[in-house]
Structure 1
Amino acid sequence: MFSRTALAKMIDHSLLRPDATEEEVIRHCEEAKEYHFACVMLLPAWLNMAKKRLRGSDVKLGTVIAFPFGMIPTSCKVFEARQAIGMGASEMDIVVNLGAVKSANCAQVHRDLEEVVTVAELSGLTEDGHDVLTKVILEVGLTTREEQERVCRIAEEVRADFIKTCTGMGPRPVVVEDVRHLRHCVSQNMGIKASGGIRTVEQAMTLINAGANRIGTSTGTAIVNSFDKYQEILAEELNR
């Protein structure tokens, strides 16, 4: 049976607001340790401080690359990725080059993602390195279903670990149809991270049931705290 603990381990506890304070970041890290979330997702400037806060815990440290628009040169994305890994990041959410996607320039999308994913893969081969998970953000509110299929195919080709729905800065939140479509586009070996406007346990569970393996949200504590009540209501409905 799906549990509160299992739900917590599917949550990326995210704080990606540009105006977040040091106090908020510290609180976010402490919440992640208390609830045993999968990961804390922060902007790169906070990584050094957060690494110290999370040391000795079961919570991964994650960050974003080319956030939130993805429209920087590949060399800059590679630099950001190397910097992030050096600062302790073990998960990276990489914004795809949306201009290349909209232009149907698959070769550029492939090259852009492959170079960043390769940086992550090589990190695990060094003596003092560590394994780094990569997630490709395709921004469902700005891409068509056909474009999403192309990005999914390329993400698998370059050996990324996850496809992610939204930056949270796009024109709309994630909906269940997005996750169903992406799950249809990728193999079972690839994870799907649903993010963008997920604030309730009902939303989170609907997306998980549709095929999401991770939930990106800034309200992880409220979602987990609501889980037991959600289960009670579900049981009552089944017994009617």
Structure 2
Amino acid sequence: MNIKEYLDSTYLKTASQAGITESQNILVAKNFIQEAIDENFKLIMIRPNMVSIARKMITDANSNVDIGTVIDFPEGKSGLEAKLNEAIQAIQHGADDLDFVCNYEAFKEGNVDLLKEEILKCTQLGLENNKVVKWIIEVAALNEKQIIQLSALVKNVVISNFKEKDYVSVFVKSSTGFYQTENNLPNGATVLSIMLMLENASPLPVKAAGGVRTYQEAFEMVRLGVKRIGTSGAKAIAHGESTQSGY
């Protein structure tokens, strides 16, 4: 198995979150982009303001690395119009994958119609522009029943409104990596959460994001059936080392 084909190398910190200046943060992001090029990872996942930088670097290097970015990150509650506008801008700047944070708080409050509309309209925008769409459900904010229900909701919207050939391009994704949990509980993918997602999102593919820190853990996720793994320690994982990264 070439684990690199599954790795979405990820850097999503803002300058303030990283405790550095804006120019320093751009340099960190550029180093992640260059590393993804050098290692030939599947994708580099970065903030929307870094997409045009990544597009130029990848084009100049004649690389096949895809560019992913996050939409309405990390809370997912800005509303449909904001999600669409941010996604349109990311597409214009050269993004290949659009990772939307679904409004999981609205879902928990029972506003299922809001979720259905944003999943439909945002997925439609992505597919019409030949982009991969991923829906982040934020498993750490959900109980097991809610993980099952939200995974199935994404699936049902997609299979009711799009063609079977499109399913491969619409993922259900576990986590932002930025959710604040209590008592040091995991805020990313766990084996249990991924198994629930796989069982209830199928035939849509699943991305395990956050919490995967060793090659063995990544291998196990692929063995379970995930098609992508999001991690800020992609190089360490690819080389059989463990990473101390928080995502």
Which TM-score bucket, shorter chain as reference?
A: 0.7 to 0.9
Write the mapping of 1:146-185 to structure 2, written as runs, cut at 5 A. 146-159=145-158, 161-170=170-179, 171=181, 172-185=187-200
For these two proteins, the number of residue pairs brought into alignment is 216
Whole-Å separation in 2 of the counterparts to 1:99 and 1:115: 19
Pick which of 52-61 and 199-208 moved more.
199-208
Whole-Å separation in 2 of the counterparts to 1:112 and 1:99: 13
Structure 1 residue 94 displacement after superposition: 0.6
What is aligned with 1:29? 33
Letter of the 1:110 counterpart: K
| Secondary structure in 1 matching 2:134 | strand
| Secondary structure in 1 matching 2:178 | coil
The two structures, once aligned, show a CA RMSD in angstroms of 1.6
TM-score by length of 1: 0.85
Identity within the alignment, % = 27
What is aligned with 1:223? 237
Whole-Å separation in 2 of the counterparts to 1:185 and 1:121: 22
Structure 1 residue 151 displacement after superposition: 1.9
TM-score by length of 2: 0.83
Pick which of 145-154 and 45-54 moved more.
145-154
Whole-Å separation in 2 of the counterparts to 1:157 and 1:175: 23
Give CA deviations for 1:27-54 in whole Å, capped at 9, x if unaligned. 1111111111111000001111111011
| Secondary structure in 2 matching 1:199 | coil
Q: Is the 8 A contact 2:123 2:170 kept in 1?
A: no
Please, which runs of 5 or more residues in structure 2 have no aligned partner? 19-24, 159-168, 182-186, 243-247
| Secondary structure in 1 matching 2:77 | coil
Q: Is residue 2:15 matched to residue 1:11?
A: no
2:206 aligned to 187, 192, 201, which one?
192
What is aligned with 1:121? 127
| Secondary structure in 1 matching 2:100 | strand
Q: Is the 8 A contact 1:106 1:150 kept in 2?
A: no
| Secondary structure in 2 matching 1:215 | strand
Whole-Å separation in 2 of the counterparts to 1:162 and 1:207: 15
Q: Is the 8 A contact 2:74 2:178 kept in 1?
A: yes
| Secondary structure in 2 matching 1:9 | helix
Structure 1 residue 153 displacement after superposition: 2.2
